[in-house]
Chain A
Amino acid sequence: MARWVQTLILPLALAATAGIALTQTVSAESRASQGQTQTTSHQPRNNPLSDARQHELISLLRDDCGACHGMTLQGGLGLPLTPEALQDKDPQSLVLTILDGRPGTPMSPWRRFLTEDEARWMVQQLQRGLPTQTH
């Protein structure tokens, strides 16, 4: 099926339950290939994200990541994304999971919508725990 082929040629960004050693060996390759695959760049590197963008990303985490991982991120069809569930995970491999997805699972690549800095900020938020919801 074409979708698998498409997904498999993306860097093998295995995180979460995959072995850390494997994750680290593929991360370097993934980083190297980012120059070719990264198409969006809302933010220059190391610039802080605007409040408005942070707000959007929190909504994205709750509503769109939450579509599979649960709005409270306790898990659903996708794995839990609570600080406890993520505490031992390598942040960079989580960043790559967000950007490139996980082949063979329903986790899709979000690179079309996010910069690497934004994905890194999201991982920080997840590992720290999202603020109580307000709207």
Chain B
Amino acid sequence: MKNTILAGTLAAMLAGCSACPVNDFPAKEAAIESSPQRGTGDLGIVIERTGSVLIVENSGDTVLGRVENMGDLSHAAAVFSRDQKYAYVFGRDGAVTKVDLLTQKIDKRVVQAGNSIGGAISADGRIVAAQNYAPGGVKFFDADTLELLSEVSTLDEKTGKASKVVGLADFPGNRFIFSLFEAGEIWEADVSDPRKPIVTKHKQIGKQPYDGLGGGNGRYYIAGLFGEDGLAMLDLWKPTPKVQRILGGYAHDQNTVPIYKMPHLRGWSISDGKAFLPAIGLSQVLVADVRNWQQTDRISVAGQPVFVMASPDARQVWVNFAFPDNGKVQVIDVPSMKVVHSMEPCKGVLHFEFAPRSEEVWLSCRDDHKVQVYDTQTFRLKAELKADSPSGIFFTNRAARIGM
């Protein structure tokens, strides 16, 4: 009997294992037709605020195509499937749109909230999480089908109001961590069973967290606080992580300025054991040593920083600014902690993105309707691409980053 089964199994394996769920390859011709033969490692998308997305490539710095009917992309963010074939775009209108980068078509789309701000994808690539302003909360979707799997509500039963969710980032162990703007809390959601998320709440973390980041390859979660001068940090490598205040009192005795645009925090800001963080209300970038979270430097810059992002090789930190300095960009050299380059490339620099090996950086020029590509070694303008009111630029190498 046993021998018969073994023989049968062996025969099935040799025959191609008709009972196995794998190896069901489509015909080669069909695959080519639906999916042009090229890699996706040098691809990316540029959000056009008018409601479309450009598919771009950073080997020759060109636009490959445009995907339209994406809804309200006046503020949008994107993450990528782990095979870097699909982009998941989170639109302001609460839509999650799965875009096939190779066919340049919308694969799936769900309108999941009234007003959304961004999202993240789980470590195993199977769960897409969307963070919402209205009606608040986080929703979890199947990354293949965009079927809703579960949701975590941020409704405060005492006030009857739901907190806006900001700073959602993925963490190892299929966890997502995010902050609650009104409640002043940081929540960890373990979605090992994506239909039954387990939530751990950290309360009283500080006033008005406006964004958060996952850094240090999943070790740290940091929330920026609007309502006080400090940041809230969780060290996830601790047996029982507790929120710790870092850089408290950084604005003490400083001349503060009004904020005309909230800074954005992303996991790119940790380089060479140092965290580079925007100071709220100051024209400064704060630098902290991640070993002890003490401030090591305070770098004066041209305005209120919005994005403070390290290049993937960690050599440079590029900074853009809030209104009225949003036409400026500055570059901090990490070894010397000095601003080594200042430029005014175009009007309304909303975002920038480095090529995966750091050799070039793309800037979106909202008011000039173009994207500019700069050489990061020489700061020379390499290319300009037409784009309609461009904002976010996202390259596929984000798929392999923790804390995006």
Contact = CB atoms under 8 A, between A and B. Distances in A.
Interface stretch (B148-156, B171-179, B252-260): B252-260
Given A1-B251, A71-B49, A77 B210 contact: yes
A2 B254 contact: yes
A84 interface: no
A72 B262 CA distance: 18
Given A66-B74, A67-B260, 7 more contacts: A3-B229, A64-B261, A72-B92, A75-B115, A76-B117, A77-B262, A135-B389
Interface string A50-70: 000000000100011011101
Q: Main secondary structure on chain B at its contact with chain A? A: loop
B254 to A, nearest CB: 7
A66 B257 CA distance: 20
Interface in A1-26: 1-3, 6-7
A40 interface: no
B229 A67 contact: no
A22 B370 CA distance: 47
Contact of B262 (A2, A106, A113): A106
B187 interface: no
7 contacts: A1-B229, A3-B251, A3-B257, A3-B280, A76-B75, A77-B133, A77-B166
B133 A76 contact: yes
Contacts of B49: 71
A70 B115 contact: yes
A2, A68, A72, A109: residue with the most chain B Cβ atoms closer than 10 Å: A2
A11 B49 CA distance: 36
Contacts of B348: 63
A125 interface: no
A112 to B, nearest CB: 8
Interface residues of A, number: 24
Contact of A2 (B228, B255, B323, B367): B255
B333 interface: no
B74 A72 contact: yes
Interface string A68-95: 1011101111000000000000000000
Interface of A: 1-3, 6-7, 59, 63-64, 66-68, 70-72, 74-77, 101, 106, 108-109, 113, 135
Residue among A3, A71, A101, A135 with most chain B CB within 10 A: A3
B17 to A, nearest CB: 52
A103 to B, nearest CB: 11
Interface string B198-234: 0000000000101000000000000000101100000
A106 to B, nearest CB: 6
A77 B228 CA distance: 17
Contacts of A101: 258
A11 to B, nearest CB: 15
A76 B210 contact: no
A2 B253 contact: yes
B281 interface: yes
Contacts of B72: 71-72, 74
A3 B229 CA distance: 10
A33 to B, nearest CB: 17
